[in-house]
């Protein structure tokens, strides 16, 4: 697993000729409470180190705006307090700008599913900022496997189209996202579907008691609470809480009757 703040180097190899500096656009370190973003970060850092190391180079990875002590800022402020921070700490701003200007590659996974306006324009602005920074500095950037869209606002749709067209590659983690990307960027040849980054996480296989039917259920706190607005923000056609309870009741009753096994549920959470 990557370290908490992965500004670390691959073990030195005699044939290494240079360092590859990579800005990984994620605030999620292993201290983050968002387990989904943390999984994406850990997987991406592990993959990056493996690829770069296989070519005899060292990887230096930065997580902008994370809780790492040496994390760079984004050089384009979005909020007044960010602008004030840059004015009050000009040396750190210049160091941050140097990190981005020195980067060989900028990678972004859009926090998994935030390259969209489904969470509001402010969230999209935050995600799309890294693409704007890359273009401003003339840096290559890649949209790693993530959900693309939906885009309900035409202004967001145009900006998303520009960011995808200018990227080296758009990696969609499902076919629906690929369809959306192709609709927004008709004729683009730089996009395809890929496996989700989280599937590359290292794991240890566990043995479970054979006398139980083991079922894992991931419960979304965001949906459980009705979205950020707490009033069914995403327009679900059913009551999410009743649905979760109904699924548990289903396994407790019908499947136990069919398989004559005791039911062992595992409730998985997305946020700590």
Q: pLDDT, tens digit, for every residue of 172-230?
A: 999 999 999 999 999 999 999 999 998 888 888 888 888 788 888 989 888 999 998 89
Q: What is the pTM of this model?
A: 0.82
Mean pLDDT along residues 240-264: 82
**What is the token pair recorded at 42?**
């850990």
Q: pLDDT, tens digit, for every residue of 159-179?
A: 999 999 999 999 999 999 999
HEC secondary structure over 65-123:
CCCCCCCCCCCCCCCHHHHHHHHHCHHHHHHHHHHHHHCCEEEECCCCCCECCCCCHHH
Residues in contact with 191: Cβ distance below 8 Å, sequence separation at least 6, in sequence order: 164, 169, 170, 171, 172, 178, 181, 182, 185
Mean pLDDT along residues 85-96: 89
Query: Which comes out higher in pLDDT, residue 103 or 28?
Result: 103
Report the alpha-carbon distance of residue 41 to residue 104 in Å, rounded: 18
* 25-34, 121-130, 147-156: the lowest-pLDDT one: 25-34
Report the alpha-carbon distance of residue 94 to residue 72 in Å, rounded: 9
Given phi > 0 = left and psi -120 to 50 = alpha, else beta, which region is 111? Answer: left
pLDDT for the residue 17: 40
Adjacent-strand bridge partners of 60: 21
Report the alpha-carbon distance of residue 51 to residue 57 in Å, rounded: 9
Q: How many of the other CB atoms lie within 10 Å of CB of 210?
A: 8
pLDDT for the residue 9: 38
Mean of the per-residue pLDDT values of the chain: 84
- Where residue 24 falls among pLDDT bands split at 50, 70, 90? low
């Amino acid at each position: 697993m990557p370290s908490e703040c992965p500004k670390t180097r691959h073990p030195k190899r005699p044939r290494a000729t240079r360092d590859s500096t990579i800005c990984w656009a994620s605030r999620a370190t292993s201290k983050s409470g968002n387990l989904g973003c943390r999984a994406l970060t850990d997987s991406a850092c592990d993959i990056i180190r493996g690829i770069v190391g296989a070519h005899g180079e060292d990887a230096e990875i930065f997580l902008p705006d994370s809780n790492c002590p040496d994390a760079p800022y984004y050089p384009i402020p979005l909020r007044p307090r960010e602008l004030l921070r840059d004015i009050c700490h000009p040396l750190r701003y210049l160091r941050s700008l140097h990190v981005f200007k020195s980067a060989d590659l900028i990678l972004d996974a859009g926090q998994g599913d935030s390259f969209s306006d489904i969470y509001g324009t402010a969230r999209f602005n935050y995600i799309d900022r890294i693409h704007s920074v890359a273009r401003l500095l003339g840096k290559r950037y890649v949209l790693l496997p993530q959900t693309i869209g939906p885009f309900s606002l035409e202004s967001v749709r145009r900006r998303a189209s520009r960011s995808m067209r200018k990227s080296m590659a758009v990696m969609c983690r499902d076919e629906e996202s690929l369809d959306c990307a192709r609709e927004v960027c008709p004729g683009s040849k730089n996009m395809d579907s890929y496996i989700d980054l989280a599937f590359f996480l290292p794991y240890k296989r566990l043995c479970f008691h054979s006398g139980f039917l083991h079922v894992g259920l991931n419960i979304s706190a965001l949906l459980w609470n009705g979205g950020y607005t707490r009033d069914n923000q995403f327009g679900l056609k059913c009551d999410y809480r009743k649905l979760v309870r109904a699924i548990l009741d289903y396994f407790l009753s019908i499947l136990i009757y069919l398989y004559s096994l005791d039911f062992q549920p595992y409730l998985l959470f997305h946020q700590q």
